[in-house]
Chain A
């Protein structure tokens, strides 16, 4: 029983990372109506930035995390500006191909700068573990911090969207860009803000991910990126609570199948669950029923 609880808690922790990444996917999709496949690679950039600041330059973990957030935010906005903004109004297929191109660009740039060998990442989270049930269950510091970060981010994001003018502008742009313009909303600026928030979240996810699984290479962000995309679709892409629930459910399924079925099959099981959910409910768990106009 105690091992099940441990696997379950680790699943929630992994799922929280997926959820934070999925929030970025889902916000960008909801507002810019595009799948930013380079989103996963922003995680990797966040990981490397922290690595350089803390391991190479020997600065404090806090500086490392803040630098990762700043670098990823600027990078996310720059990518949107240079690669995606000129394609506003182009077919969604062109935008998708561009996003895949940006993804390969980031991976190969990291390969050139940092080389092909896997780096070992020094965890930047120094929080003591929580021991429960006379030592039968140990919750690591990274797990605690990850789950708490996820909760704080969800509350902050929901408050931001419901209570601020920029948040309301995001909702307006996500529904009708033309009508939003007629309200005096600068649509391009709103989309840039969305990319900034999504990329900042990816940076935090990168730091948490590398702290929990302490290796780092140019493709570190690829698989978690795809899993988080699955989580976003699973929860209903465009929906913020959907991304949250999708991420956590996915993390728990993945960890439990690794523990009880087979660690080789765990990814196959995760993707099978996605297929089943989409067959039963094509819009995802919390997706809107309305057909999207193309």
Chain B
């Protein structure tokens, strides 16, 4: 299988604040890896640095054997990385269909795009029902589905998901995690950032625990669930 993503000694600053401190981790092809940690631990910053929305001070991001640290963010989509950002960030003035088509922006073959669209509609039937609706009028859970569907439209090898369960009702939370598992079973490698450590560890193969910009723990997700430190800090009963 081999490593699809390697982050080596990453350091990110916001002005003088050292937000990410020498962070290293890797993701194997086909895995679900989760980064868990409290609010402000640096989870979102890590993802944004990988996809070039934030520039790292030092360190390397290797994707599929290529150094992508200095590659502008918009070029990563056609390399197979899709990033579902925190807060979903769907284009709220545009229709569901327009949002999905923007997800396929880098692809040329119309027939293949149509093909992916039908796969996405099958995965998220609600998006098909509401394809003409303005994205801003969707519920939070539906917007999350749209953000994920939009990312799938680029036909990614790897998907980065930032807090997909944030602000959703418990029913939607379960549904979203089920879908993440299915997307992974279809062959997409997943790097998942979550505050909901219970759910994230339950579907992940491996996990890294971030604390104020440092990785403090890592290992098999199911073993970490039993770790007393993790239980005390992140898992509510």
Contact = CB atoms under 8 A, between A and B. Distances in A.
B92 A175 contact: yes
A182 interface: yes
Given A165-B105, A176-B89, A181 B74 contact: yes
Contact of A186 (B74, B93, B98): B74
B91 A184 contact: no
B93 A175 contact: yes
Nearest to B106: A184
Given A168-B102, A169-B105, A182 B73 contact: yes
A288 B93 CA distance: 10
Most chain B CB within 10 A, of A169, A181, A288, is at A181
Interface residues of A, number: 18
Contact of B91 (A176, A186, A187, A288): A176
A183 interface: yes
A171 interface: yes
Interface string B126-144: 0000000000000000000
Interface residues of B, number: 27
A176 B75 CA distance: 17
B74 A184 contact: yes
A113 B154 CA distance: 51
Contact of A171 (B74, B77, B93, B106): B93
A141 B212 CA distance: 71
A185 interface: yes
A187 B89 contact: no
B53 A178 contact: yes
A100 interface: no
Interface of B: 51-53, 72-78, 82-83, 85, 89-94, 98, 101-103, 105-106, 150, 154
Given A181-B52, A182-B51, A184-B76, 12 more contacts: A168-B98, A169-B105, A178-B85, A179-B89, A179-B91, A182-B73, A182-B82, A182-B83, A183-B106, A184-B75, A184-B105, A185-B105
**Top 8 A-B residue pairs of the complex, sorted by shortest distance between their CB atoms:** A184-B77, A184-B106, A179-B89, A181-B73, A183-B105, A183-B102, A182-B83, A175-B91
